[in-house]
Amino acid sequence: MLPDLPLHLPPLHLAVPLMAAPVGVLWRRPVLAWGWAAVVSAVTLLMAVTTLVTVLGHGPVSYAVGNWPAPWGIELKLDILSALMLVLINGIGLLTVLYGRASVQSEIQASHQYLYYICYLLALAGLSGMVITGDAFNLFVCLEISSLSSYALIAMGKGRKALTAAYNYLVLGTIGATFYIIGVGMLYMVTGTLNMADIALHMQAAPVNRTEVVAIAFLLVGIGLKLALFPLHKWLPNAYAHAPTAVTTFLASTATKVSLYILIRVFFTVLNGAPLLASHLWAEMLVPFAIAGMFSASLVAIFQTNIKKMLAYSSVAQIGYMALGLGFGTVNGLAAGIIHMINHAMIKGALFMAVGCAVLRIGTSASGAVRVESWQGLGRRMPLTMFAFVLAGLSLIGVPLTTGFVSKWYLMMAAFEKGWWLVAVLIVLSSLLAVVYIWRVVEAAYLRPALPGSDTSRCEAPLSMLLPLYLLVAANIWFGIDTRFTVDLAQAAASALFQPVTGLNGGAQ
Amino acid sequence: MSWTSLIDHAIGHYNYWVCVVLMMLGFYIVIASGNLIKKIIGLNLFQTAVIMFYISMGKIDGGTAPILVDPEKVSGPVVYTNPLPSVLMLTAIVVGVATSALGLALVVRIKEAYGSIEEDEILAADRASDAKEQAQYAASAAQAAKTEAAQQGHA
């Protein structure tokens, strides 16, 4: 039985965290729940890395759940992009758990702390499930597992605004997910199948049909809501701003990225080679929304006094860049979108971790600790945290030798390749807006005097938070200089997605 | 397409009209209602419409449940309704119940924290506390700047 284990790895990505979550309920003490979550995250990260190595070595992996072959059974399908997403989700997950212990202790009341780790494991299971499945309806179920647990996670935030933020996210998220199943239902009406590759095969064979057009429109709006693509982003700033910082770090680096993954799946697997793709400019349709999001969200970010909200609006802008990469509709554009997806997970992860360190030490009310004014003089009080914030901020802006530069470079290259000069100029201009809002924080922290009555003694965050923070900052610099890992993998994933779907199981096994 | 066939087409698909009308009613309640519980009810209506959409799409007139029949007792082909949409909707119902439960639990907590479940009252309460906080921090930031300027002038 044991030698067969690697063969059964695909379902375990979903099953291990899902089964581990209820076990965590037994351990009421926060330390034990934390240890359990850390061990499970380490195991799933190890499995994700194994899967990535297998996929890179032997091509896509297909797994028939319950030994029912596709298209009748649920197929788990792991190509380079899915394996890459798995490593990203589980890597960020492990880092946030390690980082989260001190942060969760200060931001979530003691009796709820073990529930945080359980909800986190459920969210991890849902997110992993979304990227491994090859079945459109199965994806919806995993989407709801991760969404429901993230609503609960957000509601754990200090202060009553977390409750309304979670409620609004619940309403909009459910509408998004319901739009998604309406779309899937219509595709099922036309094709009679739920397996994504099988839907693609049926759609390739049939002429364009109005039901298909409506189905894809529903899917786009539904996924756009979960992705927080401008102008469907209204839930995101409040949810990120009022959630506990560890939750914000995890969700900002993984949840929206997985929604982008679903969008990529719909465009490049479900619509693979379909006449519908050519007759309607689906990808190009994203471009105006992406550019509008890049500018409007960055402009709004400049005027925020709440630093978490500012970074959340910045996330909406960055989602614009990723959607723009998709909108180019070329291999290089898609690769640029995937590169930015990975890089932005590292950038925003580091920025929110730095915010969490500051919140821990400023220690006033939940909303007071993330106000720009409270950060005055923080450069002297928490030099290491602020230095990390500055480095990650530079990466967000896209300064050379950081990952942000790499993503913007490849985005511009893709724009030039398309001959869209104006778009390339707009990418640079919107990056300049990031300089403004990051500078506001840096100015307050280094150049302004501390607020009267506030503690000015030097008081750095504990090592357990600084280490994961600096690990992400180091990743930002490392992958900004040595781009082989991120860029090569993203390009391989993108070109694999452009391969025509010719049969079930993608020709593997 | 002639008028009669168009009307036939519209009436023949009456099941979809029912779903669409219910769906839009639910959607309208979610958007227009200011009461947080009514919003959840609207959301339920919206989800139920989708469930009906799935069920009606799998239904065949005169179709039976998809159960294996004894070939000796029943002669000829058996027409059965596609069971897959119904099975999918069992999952969707579970998801819908979980969502409603979580949503209502949040409403209870919101009522405890704000003393109201009306959206406009909650927004007003948030705005009032924001304005208070804003004034407080702006005043202390101004005072900090003044103190520093005075110190520099002194030096």
CA distance A170 to chain B (A): 7
Say if residue A2's pLDDT is above 70. no
Q: Find the residue in A nearest to B151 (Cα).
A: A449
Interface probe, candidates B19, B36, B84, B99, chain A, greatest A C-beta count within 10 A: B99
Chain B 8-67, CB below 8 Å of chain A: which residues?
27, 30, 36, 39-40, 43, 46-47, 50, 53-54, 57
CATH match of B1-65+77-117 with 3.40.190.10: no
Q: Which of A182-186, A303-307, A371-375 comes out lowest in average pLDDT?
A: A371-375
Q: What is the mean pLDDT of residues B30-36?
A: 91
pLDDT score recorded for residue A366: 65
Spell out the domain ranges in chain B: 1-65+77-117, 119-155
Say if residue A109's pLDDT is above 90. no
Say if residue A90's pLDDT is above 50. yes
- Burial class of A200 by CB neighbour count within 10 A (0 to 12, 13 to 18, 19+): buried
Interface probe, candidates B13, B60, B106, chain A, greatest A C-beta count within 10 A: B106
* Chain A residues touching residue B39 (CB < 8 angstroms): 171
**Cα–Cα distance between A291 and A444 in angstroms, integer?**
29
- Rounded to two decimals, the pTM is 0.91
Say if residue A500's pLDDT is above 90. no
Query: A371 and B54: CB-CB below 8 Å?
Result: no
Strand pairing report for A75-78 and A61-64: antiparallel
Q: Is the ipTM of this complex over 0.85?
A: yes
Split at pLDDT 50, 70, 90, the class of A507 is very low
The rounded percent of chain B whose pLDDT value lies above 70 is 98
Q: Find the residue in B nearest to A181 (Cα).
A: B50
Helix (H, G, I), strand (E, B) or coil at B81: coil
pLDDT score recorded for residue A262: 93
Q: What is the mean pLDDT of residues B106-128?
A: 91
**Cα–Cα distance between B13 and A189 in angstroms, integer?**
14
Structure tokens at A418: 């398309």
Domain with A452 in it: 2-507
pLDDT score recorded for residue B155: 65
Per-residue pLDDT tens over the stretch A325-382: 988 888 899 999 999 999 999 999 999 999 999 888 887 666 778 888 888 888 888 8
Say if residue B137's pLDDT is above 90. no
pLDDT score recorded for residue B59: 81
Q: Find the residue in A nearest to B99 (Cα).
A: A148
Q: Which of A67-76, A117-126, B18-27, B57-66 comes out lowest in average pLDDT?
A: B57-66
Number of domains in chain A: 1
Please give the interface size between A and B, counted as residue pairs whose CB atoms are below 8 Å apart.
Answer: 103
- Nearest CB to B144; choose among A171, A188, A450: A450
**Cα–Cα distance between A501 and A487 in angstroms, integer?**
24
Per-residue pLDDT tens over the stretch A231-268: 898 899 999 999 999 999 999 999 999 999 999 998 88
Split at pLDDT 50, 70, 90, the class of A226 is very high
Say if residue B65's pLDDT is above 60. yes
Per-residue pLDDT tens over the stretch A120-168: 999 999 999 999 998 999 999 999 999 999 999 999 988 888 999 999 9
> B146 — contact with chain A (CB < 8 Å)?
no
Q: What is the mean pLDDT of residues A103-130?
A: 89
DSSP codes of every residue in B97-140:
HHHHHHHHHHHHHHHHHHS--BHHHHHHHHHHHHHHHHHHHHHH
Q: Chain-wide mean pLDDT for chain A?
A: 88
The rounded percent of chain A whose pLDDT value lies above 70 is 97
Per-residue pLDDT tens over the stretch A412-430: 999 998 888 898 999 999 9
Is the separation of the CB atoms in B92 and B54 below 8 Å? yes
Q: What is the mean pLDDT of residues A67-83?
A: 87
The b-or-e profile of A116-150 (16+ CB within 10 A means b, else e) is: bbbbbbbbbbbbbbbbbbbbbbbbbbbbbbbbbbb
- Nearest CB to B141; choose among A161, A175, A451: A451
pLDDT score recorded for residue A509: 35
Say if residue B83's pLDDT is above 50. yes
Q: Which residues contact A372 (CB under 8 A, 6 or more apart)?
A: A305, A307, A440, A441, A444
pLDDT score recorded for residue A181: 93
Q: Which of A308-312, A467-471, A502-506, B130-134 comes out lowest in average pLDDT?
A: A502-506
Chain A 350-379, CB below 8 Å of chain B: which residues?
367-368, 371, 373-374, 376
